[in-house]
A and B are shown apart, each in its own frame.
Chain A
Amino acid sequence: MGWLRHQRYLLDFIIASLLRRKGKNLGLLLVYSLIVFMLASVMLFTHALKREMGQVLQASPEIILQRIEAGRHALIPADYLRKIGRLRGVTARKGRLWGYFYDPAVRANYTLMVAPERRLADSEVIIGSAIARTRGIGPGDYLTFRAHDGEAYSFRVRELLASDTELFSADLVLMSERAFRVSQGVAEGWYTDIVLSVSNPLELAKIAEKLTLRLPDTRPILREEILRTYDSIFSWRQGILFVLLLGAILAFVIFAWDKASGLSAEERREIGILKAVGWETGDVLRMKFWEGAILSLMAFLLGYLLAYLHVFHASASLFEPVLKGWAVLYPAFRLTPVIDGLQVATLFFFSVFPYVVATIIPIWQVSVTDPDAVMR
């Protein structure tokens, strides 16, 4: 109890003394929060992207089978669906048709895809909202493509894709099979790739192995692998940004060191008086650490809060291009906030820990000063 009361009085005293030197402490707080803000923005953003990616991919097929010709992805004959035969554990398999289309008008690539389940007429398309935004069109308007043979085809936009999946559907154009084959010159009997659904994840690797044995010119890609790759790519990008920010952290460490060691004459006198009235070195150390703790906590909360607002309400406008990738058709999307312990702990070590380490020695130097040396 006595210990608690002791700390409370100490805290009282420290807050008063912090407020007495508003200018200096505000400067430190500002820089400190900025560091936390930058690191936390990167972190919150990549974590939310990762989560989004995982959720979107949950609905994708377990295995994608691509044919490889001379080391390149090539069209796969529809015949392969038969050749695969019955594989135990595969619950469904079908051929997919998709491709890219460069639209010179907006200088962007669209992803064309056949969506039989949408029952589109041959002259109809469904488009992603980024395309609609960029071209300024909506349902009922017409979208014109120059086909592979130079002919122009016009499609009526039946509807727009829902914006909740915009991260993936921003540049998507859904069309009927016939429209795709005619406009892109993909002959009947060929698909872009084949997808298989497997209900037991433990069987995936075996099925993939059987596929490569039966169809040696194909490569199966597992959903797990895509997820794993995204996971490491996002971690890696985040890491790169952190490496770049290390310079800023180092500058901050030097700044904190300087602030902690360059005490004004008035502060020195204050410590001298405290020691003269009976404070011990340990008390001064404790006081200084409480000071640092209060500053750190405030900076951490402030920086983290700002980062949260930046990422989840301003779409992380500062780091978006680096972390998300590059594209002309930018999806506009709102991320679901994700916060976890690892994130906060890492952030803490990147900001508060350097601050503490930087200030230990200056604080000690201050706390061992003799009262008579500073009051003279």
Chain B
Amino acid sequence: MLLNPATMVLILVSGVVLSMLLLAAGFAIQLLRHWDISSGSERQLRLERRTYLISTLLAWAFAAELVSLLLFVYNAEAMSGQFVGAMCATGVLNVNAWGWPTLLLKIAIFFSGASWLILNALDNRGYDYPLVRLKYRLLLLIVPLVAVETGLQLRYFLELRPDVITSCCGSLFSANARGVAGEVAALSPALAVWGLALSGVLVLAAGLRFQRTRRGGPLFGLLALLAFGIALAAIVSVISPYIYAHPEHHCPFCILKSGHGFAGYLLYIPLFAATAWALGVAVVAPWRHIPSLDAAVADGASRLVRRSLGMFLLFYLAAGWFVYSSPLVMQGVWW
């Protein structure tokens, strides 16, 4: 176990967020059983008041999860000096089997949290809270995700053993012991680029179609999720090497560092925002037929789809520009 402040705080935050969600889940169960908007009973009033608390709690919990995602990556980066063979965050995540699953779960929680908050905001605009049961049922689905993430993260940190000098044999240990893998496996670059281009065209087309016809919101969300996954794979296999100007360096985290002009932020922020908003479109769009939400859906969905498309465009432009402006030339090797 590494007793350093950043790991302590990550464990602490996950624990607190989990307890906030458990509190919310307890309430969700109560609400699912007793909610009756037409009733004026004291219990109903109490439930209605409590929805404010739950919305606030969850907004904070998901915000904390987002920051803890960043902190998790920074922390892995900072610990890279303590493990043999780990040159950056990738190596530290490879130290044991739980690093990558924790990171992926954190990303999954970010997206489910963002979608839930968007749905919640939509529901709050209808005077009769038409989606209240649905959204609290969905909330009950997010809780296990957070619980698993908390457990995995704890396990990951508990099983980290820094390679320090032992009194018996100095480097004997590090010479014989295998260091951690410093790199991630990458897709073939040509495949990644074609995938990136294809998914980009599809997602932009679906977004524009939704913008025009107000149809295919869920499809747009689904394609965005697909584009997100392919984009991450492409960052690892193609875009990062171009940013580093080094065909064998695939790390998806080093691009966040000052040495590479913080290029990663220009990729990740638009990509994450675009995907979150696209998922927002997917959860908002299907409720147009509910009278009390009609205006809110029309208004919200068009704003979300515009933002999402803008961000996707920014991401693809940035990615293209990084490849275009890189001194690395791979014609004849990769394609």
List residues of chain A with CB under 8 Å of any chain B CB.
43, 63, 66, 71, 204-206, 208-209, 212, 219-222, 224-229, 231-233, 235-236, 238-240, 242-243, 281-282, 285, 341-342, 345-346, 348-350, 353, 356-357, 360-361, 363-364, 367-368
The answer on a CB contact under 8 Å between A357 and B20 is: yes
CB of A8 to closest CB in B, whole Å: 22
Find the B residue at minimum CB distance from A210: B175
CB of A184 to closest CB in B, whole Å: 24
In angstroms, Cα B12 to Cα A205, docked, is: 37
In angstroms, Cα B13 to Cα A345, docked, is: 12
Interface status of B71 (Cβ within 8 A of chain A): yes
- Contact A353-B64, Cβ < 8 Å, known A222-B174, A345-B71: yes
The answer on a CB contact under 8 Å between A205 and B49 is: no
Residue in A227, A353, A356 whose Cβ sees the most chain B Cβ within 10 Å: A353
Residue in B53, B68, B74, B169 whose Cβ sees the most chain A Cβ within 10 Å: B53
Q: Mark B276-293, 1 if CB is under 8 A from A, else 0.
A: 000000000000000000
Interface status of B321 (Cβ within 8 A of chain A): no
Interface status of B164 (Cβ within 8 A of chain A): yes
Query: Which residues of the partner chain B approach A231 to less than 8 Å between Cβ atoms?
Result: 81-82, 162
Determine chain B's interface SS by DSSP, over half rule: helix
CB of B125 to closest CB in A, whole Å: 12
Query: Which residues of the partner chain B approach A364 to less than 8 Å between Cβ atoms?
Result: 52-53, 56
In angstroms, Cα B120 to Cα A367, docked, is: 19
- Contact A232-B5, Cβ < 8 Å, known A209-B175, A285-B52, A349-B67: no
The answer on a CB contact under 8 Å between B52 and A356 is: no
CB of A252 to closest CB in B, whole Å: 14
In angstroms, Cα B2 to Cα A243, docked, is: 13
Query: Which residues of the partner chain B approach A206 to less than 8 Å between Cβ atoms?
Result: 175
The answer on a CB contact under 8 Å between A346 and B5 is: yes
The answer on a CB contact under 8 Å between B164 and A232 is: yes
Query: Which residues of the partner chain B approach A281 to less than 8 Å between Cβ atoms?
Result: 49, 52
Find the A residue at minimum CB distance from B54: A364
The answer on a CB contact under 8 Å between A285 and B56 is: yes
Among all A-B residue pairs, the 5 with the closest Cβ atoms? A239-B3, A235-B4, A221-B170, A232-B162, A342-B74
In angstroms, Cα B16 to Cα A281, docked, is: 25
- Contact A349-B3, Cβ < 8 Å, known A228-B162, A285-B52: no
In angstroms, Cα B170 to Cα A226, docked, is: 9
Query: Which residues of the partner chain B approach A232 to less than 8 Å between Cβ atoms?
Result: 2, 82, 162, 164
In angstroms, Cα B168 to Cα A18, docked, is: 61
- Contact A205-B175, Cβ < 8 Å, known A228-B82, A360-B53: yes
Which residue of A209, A219, A242, A353 is within 8 Å of B8 (Cβ)? A242
In angstroms, Cα B85 to Cα A224, docked, is: 11
Which residue of B3, B16, B57, B165 is within 8 Å of A225 (Cβ)? B165
Query: Which residues of the partner chain A approach B84 to less than 8 Å between Cβ atoms?
Result: 228
Quick one: which of B43-81 are within 8 Å of A by CB? 49, 52-53, 56-57, 60, 64, 67-68, 70-71, 74-75, 77-79, 81
Interface status of B163 (Cβ within 8 A of chain A): yes
Which residue of B13, B78, B81 is within 8 Å of A349 (Cβ)? B13
Interface status of B9 (Cβ within 8 A of chain A): yes
Interface status of B6 (Cβ within 8 A of chain A): yes
Interface status of B171 (Cβ within 8 A of chain A): yes
The answer on a CB contact under 8 Å between A225 and B171 is: yes
Quick one: which of B1-58 are within 8 Å of A by CB? 2-9, 12-13, 16, 20, 49, 52-53, 56-57
The answer on a CB contact under 8 Å between A349 and B71 is: yes
Residue in B6, B7, B83 whose Cβ sees the most chain A Cβ within 10 Å: B6
Interface status of B330 (Cβ within 8 A of chain A): no
The answer on a CB contact under 8 Å between B57 and A236 is: no
The answer on a CB contact under 8 Å between B174 and A205 is: yes
Which residue of A346, A348, A356 is within 8 Å of B60 (Cβ)? A356
27 A-B residue pairs with Cβ-Cβ distance under 8 Å, sorted by A, are A43-B5, A66-B170, A205-B171, A205-B175, A208-B170, A208-B171, A219-B170, A220-B171, A221-B165, A222-B174, A225-B163, A225-B164, A227-B81, A232-B162, A232-B164, A235-B3, A236-B3, A239-B3, A239-B4, A282-B52, A342-B6, A345-B71, A349-B9, A349-B13, A350-B5, A367-B52, A368-B52
